[in-house]
Amino acid sequence: MNSNWQLPPDPFANDPNDPASFFEDDEPFPPLSDEERARMKQDLKLMREFRRVLAPKGVQGIFFYCEDCTEEHFYDWDIMEANMLSTLAEEQSAVHEPSPNPDPHNYVPWDYCLGYLDGIQQR
């Protein structure tokens, strides 16, 4: 539902220097739905379990393939946790930056952690 028709015409509508265009890349931070919030809480719980069992083995965190950058991003456990907590608090994540100079050998994918946790729980 678009309510823009109620607004007066945009004086910059055909102006390539429209000041609003500078903000277009900054997507507004959407509020979490109840479902997303529940999933995030579950992920946070899992992530803390992963850290508990994997950190003593020298695993420093998780890596994700980022489709925006088309490269892998490495996140320390504590950075992951802070990101999740600020998402739950609906704050713009202040610590979105990947860990500096990660050693890829010390990071594992999320799915690996899930499988690892499954493995030790079935013992």
User: Can you give the binding site for Zn ion, defined by CB under 5 A?
Assistant: 66, 68-69
Q: Which two tokens stand for residue 25?
A: 């890349």
Nearer to Zn ion (CB atom), residue 69 or residue 120:
69
Q: Which one, 37 or 86, has the nearer CB to Zn ion? A: 86
In the complex, what is the shortest distance from the CB of residue 83 to Zn ion, in angstroms, rounded to a whole number?
A: 13
Q: At its nearest, how many Å lie between Zn ion and the CB of residue 98?
A: 8
Closest CA to 77 of 104, 48, 101: 48
| Dist CA 103 CA 112 (whole Å) | 17
Q: Which of 34/71 has CB closer to Zn ion?
A: 71
Residues with Cβ within 8 Å of 73's Cβ and at least 6 positions away in sequence, in order, are 63, 64, 65, 66, 98
